[in-house]
Amino acid sequence: MVNHIQCTTHIQGSPLQYEVKWSERARRLRLSVTIDGVLVTLPRGTAAAEAERFIQQNSAWLGEQLRKLERRQAKARSQSLPGDVILLRGKPTQVRVIEEEGRRVQALVRETGSRLEVLLPEGAGSKKGKVLENAMREMARDELNRAVTTHARAMRVSPKGINIRDQRTRWGSCSTRGTLSFNWRLVMAPPEVLNYVVVHELAHLRVPNHSREFWNLVSQYFPAYKEARLWLKRNAARLHPNLN
Ligand SMILES: [Zn+2]
């Protein structure tokens, strides 16, 4: 029996993906918006078309919830850590900007112990944020590629490709064609959290929804997934530092 389906619709002119779940306990239709996405819960025996009707009926409320979620994350993005400290692989890391006199070569970021040094040509200090972000994206790409290779082999799945993005409200996603996308900001999280997100998206290649079957699969390959989820929930703001 199918307990979960994925659907796509439009509300207020924007495409919307949502998940429909049938529950034994639900007495009426329920709509929820979380960082995992939009979920409609239906009492057992209700037709899927009812979910679509319910979404359209509540599109104004839903639009407001989605905007609220985005505003919360935008606010988190603008909150900088004290001084010039960012998280890198879960560890607070001092960022030092060095403007080199007469430096002709391109900007450079290097890791030295627990520090990140951003070397810039003289007078290019304002480029620091962009240079740092690009360097961290590259680190993220390396680490995510490595983690995907390792876990995909263990889980016997083969993703079609990997994209590194800055998704506003998500850490990762899995397209219906089997391409995985990850947020470069995961390089700031502890390695186990990055690994959890990788296992989560790889598990979607086998189970495309968040049913019990899905979580069983995740826990089989990443038993401490609850802790990782909690870490992301609590520390999302720290992964959106003001880099400038
Ligand atoms: Zn998921």
Write the pLDDT tens digit of every residue in 228-244: 999 998 888 888 887 76
C-alpha 235 to ligand 1 mean position (Å): 18
CA–centroid distance, 159 to ligand 1, in Å, is 15
Q: How far is the CA of 51 from the centre of ligand 1 (A)?
A: 20
Q: How many angstroms does the Cα of residue 113 sit away from the middle of ligand 1?
A: 35
Q: Is the pLDDT of residue 28 over 80?
A: yes
Q: How distant, in Å, are the alpha carbons of 13, 71, 133, 140 from that of 68?
A: 18, 5, 26, 28
* % of the chain with per-residue pLDDT over 90: 54
Q: Does residue 181 or residue 170 have the better pLDDT?
A: 181
The model's pTM: 0.69
Q: From ligand 1's centre to the CA of 99, what distance in Å? A: 43
Ligand 1 centroid to residue 118 C-alpha, Å: 35
pLDDT band at 197 (very low <50, low <70, confident <90, very high): very high
CA 210 to ligand 1 centroid distance, Å: 6
Distance 215 CA to ligand 1 centre (A): 9
Please tell me the distance between residue 225's alpha carbon and the centre of ligand 1 in angstroms.
Answer: 12
Distance 211 CA to ligand 1 centre (A): 10
Nearest of 216, 206, 223 to residue 159 by alpha carbon: 206
| Lowest model confidence (mean pLDDT) among 123-132, 146-155, 177-186, 204-213 | 123-132
85 alpha carbon – ligand 1 mean position (Å) = 30
For the chain, the straight-line distance linking the first and the last C-alpha, in angstroms and rounded, comes to: 52
The domain ranges of the chain are 4-78, 85-239
Please tell me the distance from the alpha carbon of residue 198 to that of residue 152, in angstroms, as a whole number: 9
Q: In CATH, what number does 85-239 get? A: 3.30.2010.10
Q: How far apart are CA 26 and CA 28, in angstroms?
A: 6
